[in-house]
Structure 1
């Protein structure tokens, strides 16, 4: 019987505007579980983001004598996790309940004030959860020496917090415990081959964009070595029959020498994989030679985090982007037959009508296959949040109970120079003017599998549904 339960929660029941067409296994929780299993602790991993059970059904899967229940928490699961914690607190009184993930990491006091739990863990969880479990077993003070732990002093109610210690040797971690999850075949993204497995080859981000939090990782990046990455790929293929890799970290192309070593290793193995560079990579350092290696390794899609093509908007959000270099990289990628994505954010500070039109002209001129337009969300802990606090007006409390996602048609704030109505109009216009009927036909012609076609149709339906929601909100 497992005595440690790790839970990836479902989003809030009323949440709209989330990307439901792509669902990956919870890599972070699976990595934590792997560390605990390697040390002999019976561990259960519940992915309710996939299974969508009720809180009562989740409770039924947690044994009454569990030592620890750990729940990952992001802003979109605020309400569902709060209900879960209340249930655990009353129905599992002898069990330690801790929260980790994005929201506890950047706003521990907010979480401790609003959730029934013993405490939170900020930052990476592998070593912290192991230390915490050992404290429970040895009957030591619960959070003694636990990296990143934060809790309320029972006598005074004051916040107590341990410093966060980064994991510097990612290669020393065991591979994620995917055997504790539902079959990989149940997860989905834009797939040319199945089953798919996510691959995270680094942690952190060296850049300072205002819409991402830097409170924990402090712009410091840690990497898995090429040998470690290739060993994990070998293991995924051997143990799970994986045929497609979705690379989910922003830093895959950051160190060219490392990236080439990984690509060369995949090519030498002759695995005939499909590889999806799913998140936005940087365009610096990309040339025809590296694109050729990507092609040989099986990469079929590349994505770039662009956000805006307007220099003023890029400066205000501290996005260091050379538009000329990016344009050349996109042109090369298209010429060599890759599916090319661009990620854009509508409604960032400084976005004027001209800035918006400049971004739309860029998206069309470089002939992106897919342009992903999302609305700016000022998450707590980000510089964007602080910018809105100083100079703007919140329309949605993004600290808690966030029921609307990037694609919901909800405008989260107003800023000098634009109103809610301006942003909704631009958001609808972006999709309407980019996705012409001809563009849709061209994209359909690039589908290479039934699952890829089904993904495209589901994504299109979600975009259309969100446009209807956006229209309703604007009335």
Structure 2
């Protein structure tokens, strides 16, 4: 049994490229930026290491980071004896994703194609009836994929109502529902491809090369605009933490094998307790590494200073909007005074700050957007991210895939003080 976990090509353009796997919101980026950004396909990488640890041969291929076109990736599949191919989907790229699935089945009808990711999890019946895919892997899928591969290898069909799996049988849609959450202590560190590991550079990081690491899954918030809790992990989504020794092993391997100089912790956010634990971990390493992370807005100055002493260079935090009614409707209650106080605490602790905004939430108007922009400017964070409010990029995006939802494009961030790759 041989499995290919694939981040298939999306946009084939000389000017732009798309990100799907490894980001919470699929996005289109310009190729002419001074520092290209490719997102580490974390779910695919975790499934790859999990399969290999359980005696199923698995290969991870990130065609987007490799710069491959559709024909190149299909040739790779045609020249190898994969039994199963797993594709990740997003709403923004779904037409490309389903088209690529059908191209695989046209090329090699005997290959089992599984769709995973946000869009397939949200609309499993729709993607199954709109493509030649064999299965949909719902939510977290490491254990589901392993069980499916074992049954296929034994010549058996999946169990009816198999947890974490959806498929069509004689035209009837069968959905086993979401599988119980995986114990992260059973999950080895994600696979890192030596060909692409240094391409996954976090734009807000200061030192190159750097790498994204996740120490937990889940999120205690229920923001309506985010896929993290509702789709990736399911309700109720509570934090589940990897054992610290497991995290330590991954970080030391990144430093020793790939020369990583900074770690970006891409957890939903660090609570006060987790920030202290990671500070202790990073401070105890035999090598000095810089790091950054997402944090809870209420984190104390004492903990921020502790993080700084342990090598933390900067923090990210979600603001989304400064309009209280829009924030309340999105289940994201943010007080401007609290954000301003956090920025002041970070400055006193010597940490860089990066704020995240979401434009276009339900109820957004030109006036509410302008108020948020004015407030964001007055914060004077080191950098920030948000969908672009300019018309021309969005128009080009919509004209290319007018029926595609969720197309966003981050604006450029302040790069002051950030080291550049040589």
Into which bin does the TM-score normalised by the smaller protein fall?
A: 0.7 to 0.9
Q: What is the root-mean-square deviation in Å for CA atoms of aligned residues?
A: 2.9
User: Aligned residue pairs: how many?
Assistant: 393
Partner residue in 2 for 1:313: 326
1:38 pairs with one of 53, 62, 66: 53
CA distance in structure 2 between the partners assigned to 1:181 and 1:110 by the alignment: 36
SS at match of 1:300: strand
CA distance in structure 2 between the partners assigned to 1:270 and 1:343 by the alignment: 33
Bigger fraction of residues in helix: 1
SS at match of 2:267: coil
Alpha carbons 1:12, 1:403 under 8 Å: kept: no
CA separation of 1:99 and 1:295: change in aligned 2, threshold 3 A: same
Partner residue in 2 for 1:99: 115
1:304 aligns with 2:274: no
SS at match of 1:117: coil
Displacement of 1:259: 2.3
1:449 aligns with 2:419: yes
Partner residue in 1 for 2:214: 200
1:300-347 Cα shifts (integer Å, max 9, x gaps)? 221111111111111111112233222211111123332211111222
CA distance in structure 2 between the partners assigned to 1:250 and 1:321 by the alignment: 16
Alpha carbons 1:150, 1:160 under 8 Å: kept: yes
Structure 1 segments, 4+ long, off by >3 Å, are: 12-17, 142-146, 395-401
1:166 pairs with one of 169, 177, 180: 180
1:403-434 Cα shifts (integer Å, max 9, x gaps)? 873128xxxxxxxxxxxxxxxxxxxxxx8xxx
Structure 2 segments unaligned to the other structure (5+ residues) = 19-26, 31-35, 390-396
Partner residue in 1 for 2:23: none
User: Mean alpha-carbon deviation: is it higher for 200-209 or for 96-105?
Assistant: 200-209
SS at match of 1:309: coil
SS at match of 2:188: coil
Displacement of 1:354: 4.2
Alpha carbons 1:101, 1:122 under 8 Å: kept: yes
SS at match of 2:221: coil
Partner residue in 1 for 2:37: 22
SS at match of 1:250: strand
Displacement of 1:355: 2.7
Within 5 A, what are the aligned runs for 1:116-195? 116-142=132-158, 144=160, 146-154=162-170, 157-178=171-192, 180=193, 182-190=195-203, 191-195=205-209
Bigger fraction of residues in strand: 2
CA separation of 1:9 and 1:158: change in aligned 2, threshold 3 A: same
Displacement of 1:144: 5.0
Q: Give the TM-score taking structure 1 as reference length.
A: 0.75
Displacement of 1:201: 1.3
CA distance in structure 1 between the partners assigned to 2:63 and 2:306 by the alignment: 38
CA distance in structure 2 between the partners assigned to 1:399 and 1:164 by the alignment: 30
Partner residue in 1 for 2:263: 245
1:287 aligns with 2:300: yes
1:109 aligns with 2:125: yes
Displacement of 1:40: 2.0
Partner residue in 2 for 1:8: 7
Alpha carbons 1:205, 1:219 under 8 Å: kept: no
Alpha carbons 1:79, 1:401 under 8 Å: kept: no
SS at match of 2:292: strand
Structure 1 segments unaligned to the other structure (5+ residues) = 377-394, 409-430, 455-475
1:235 pairs with one of 240, 253, 259: 253
Q: Which has the larger radius of gyration?
A: 1
SS at match of 2:322: coil
1:156-194 Cα shifts (integer Å, max 9, x gaps)? x1210112113341021111111x452422332334333
CA separation of 1:331 and 1:209: change in aligned 2, threshold 3 A: same
CA distance in structure 2 between the partners assigned to 1:400 and 1:114 by the alignment: 18
CA distance in structure 1 between the partners assigned to 2:182 and 2:400 by the alignment: 32
Partner residue in 1 for 2:347: 334
Alpha carbons 1:10, 1:50 under 8 Å: kept: no
